[in-house]
Amino acid sequence: MNFKKITNYFKYSKEQSKAVLLLFGIIITSQMIYFFVDFDSQEENDPEEQQWLSLQHGIDSLKIQKDSLAYKVYPYNPNFISDYKGYKLGMSIAEIDRLHDFRNKNKYVNSAAEFQSVTKVSDSLLQTMSSNFKFPDWVTNKKSTTKYVNYTTKAFAKKEKVQSDINSATQEDLIKVYGVGAAFSERILKYKATLGSFVSMDQIEDVWGLSPEAVQGVKDNFKIGTTTNLNKLDINNASLKEISRFPYFNYKQATSIITYRSMNGDFVNIEDLIKIKGFPVDKAKIIALYLDFD
């Protein structure tokens, strides 16, 4: 090997030597800057990037929290179960469709047993779901009442221990009762004229203004006698105005009756009327005697 020839490559002029030294200086300086200067600090201090990192951290926390939450069921009316809610509750598509088909006929389920009859859900699923069923108060109240019995006017009369027929009583007869003066006696007679005849002594309680003592006094001194001229309401043909004038119905109840009749057809008996929201169920036995269903 010719070393002499090789060494010729490492012979520099004065200017070349300065250039080489300068190059080495730049390289060494660059390396020192790379190792000793923290370039990430500027990026971490970037306000915009910090804001995005903070937002991303919040999103990640919400995702973790959402995944850890269980589906909580609050009390609900089973008549209004949506597809999604039914799915979350464990119902099959067929069971949900049966409920929706039933509701599309403008019908309502009013008990857990009726819900199962319509949807065909299993006993185990019904037991889980029914603990959160919440039906309207009027449905609950209706269920708590005793089954309607079609009493006759004689049944009312047997319960009363009385002396005179209230339907033939005059103002002078009524005034003799303690607590019933001229004004109240006239009010009782006007109320009787609206009905045609009383069918129960309990109707005296509906006369506005009478004290409990006066009501009891009338009950003790009178009885139900003749009830031949009842002013009956043709419930299947009466207008809104006629129904709202009936002593036991207000305008709102009359509107509900007209709406129900137009959607479901004629009423067959008093039990059809009991289904209407707001119907005075506690007076159903008396009201039935003043209605004509033919």
Q: What is the pLDDT of residue 95?
A: 92
**pTM given for the model:** 0.44
The residue behind tokens 């159903």 is: 284
Per-chain mean pLDDT for the chain: 81
Domains and CATH numbers, the chain: 78-135 (no CATH), 166-223 (1.10.150), 233-292 (1.10.150.280)
**pLDDT over 90 (residue 110):** no
The confidence band for 147, taking pLDDT boundaries of 50, 70 and 90, is low
Residues in the chain: 294
List of residues 6+ apart from 184 with CB closer than 8 A = 174, 207, 209, 210, 214
Taking the C-alpha atoms of residue 117 and residue 98, their distance in angstroms, rounded to an integer, is 10
Question: In Å, how far are 108, 109, 293 from 136, measured between CA atoms?
Answer: 11, 11, 28
**pLDDT over 90 (residue 47):** no
The confidence band for 155, taking pLDDT boundaries of 50, 70 and 90, is very low
The confidence band for 87, taking pLDDT boundaries of 50, 70 and 90, is confident
The confidence band for 45, taking pLDDT boundaries of 50, 70 and 90, is low
Q: What is the pLDDT of residue 219?
A: 92
The confidence band for 154, taking pLDDT boundaries of 50, 70 and 90, is very low
**pLDDT over 70 (residue 263):** yes
Tokens at 95, concatenated: 């069971």
Q: What is the pLDDT of residue 44?
A: 52
pLDDT, one tens digit per residue, over 12-37 is 677 777 887 888 888 888 888 877 77
User: Cα 165–166–171 angle (5° rounding)?
Assistant: 115
Residue type, 29: T
Do residues 188 and 207 touch, judged by C-beta distance below 8 A?
yes
